[in-house]
Amino acid sequence: MYTGQFLYCGKKATLVVGNVLPLRAIPEGAVVCNVEHHVGDRGVLARASGDYAIVISHNPDNDTTRIKLPSGSKKIVPSGCRAMIGQVAGGGRTEKPMLKAGNAYHKYRGNHQHIGHASTVRRDAPPGQKVGLIAARRTGRLRGQAAASAAKAD
């Protein structure tokens, strides 16, 4: 792809890198990326840098297509799912050495969870577990027992 390139979408689009077609219109062995998992979900498979999927086969009987994912696993998706022709840019990004800690700093500076308050339990907080009858057979009010015990007393 290049700046200013016209991209065409739909079942009548030509088989050119960057165009988006339904899988049923893409021949077997074609390299695709940004593949939909369900029809209309706007592409979820083979989207990372340098990734691509390969169309293995079409099954017109149940209208499905078998694709090979970047992980090597094979997946069956509906043939109406759309896919972009070609491979995602940025392949080999992880192969370049970091060379110094300052470059790795940004890598490990990710978005980590942050509660925003102390996570220690207060002294006066009620116990959360291991109270009462552990693994009780039943709980709740005993019903119908008072009459039986009254009859025994007589």
On whether residue 112 sits in a domain, the answer given is no
pLDDT of residue 52: 98
On whether residue 154 sits in a domain, the answer given is no
Local confidence band at 151 (pLDDT 50, 70, 90 cut-offs): low
On whether residue 63 sits in a domain, the answer given is yes
On whether residue 120 sits in a domain, the answer given is no
By DSSP bridging, strand 31-33 and strand 74-78 are unpaired
Local confidence band at 147 (pLDDT 50, 70, 90 cut-offs): low
Helix (H, G, I), strand (E, B) or coil at 57: strand
On whether residue 125 sits in a domain, the answer given is no
Instruction: Check which CATH number belongs to the domain holding 59 and give it.
Output: 2.30.30.30
Sign, CA dihedral 43-44-49-50, equals: negative
Tell me: pLDDT of 56 over 80.
Answer: yes
Q: What is the pTM of this model?
A: 0.69
Q: What is the per-residue DSSP string for 81-131? A: -EEEES--S-TTGGGS---SHHHHHHHH-------SS--SPPTTSPP-SS-
pLDDT of residue 124: 87
Structural domains counted in the chain: 1
Distance of alpha carbon 31 from alpha carbon 54, whole angstroms = 5
What is the overall mean pLDDT for the chain?
92
- How far is the CA of 10 from the CAs of 20, 50, 81, in angstroms? 6, 24, 11
User: pLDDT of 134-145, one tens digit each?
Assistant: 888 988 888 886
pLDDT of residue 62: 97
pLDDT of residue 57: 98
User: pLDDT of 16-44, one tens digit each?
Assistant: 999 999 999 999 999 999 999 999 999 99
Tell me: pLDDT of 148 over 60.
Answer: no
For residue 56, the enclosing domain spans: 20-85
On whether residue 131 sits in a domain, the answer given is no
pLDDT of residue 110: 86
Beta bridge partners, 70, equal none
On whether residue 78 sits in a domain, the answer given is yes
Check residues 136 and 73 and name the one with the higher pLDDT.
Answer: 73
On whether residue 146 sits in a domain, the answer given is no
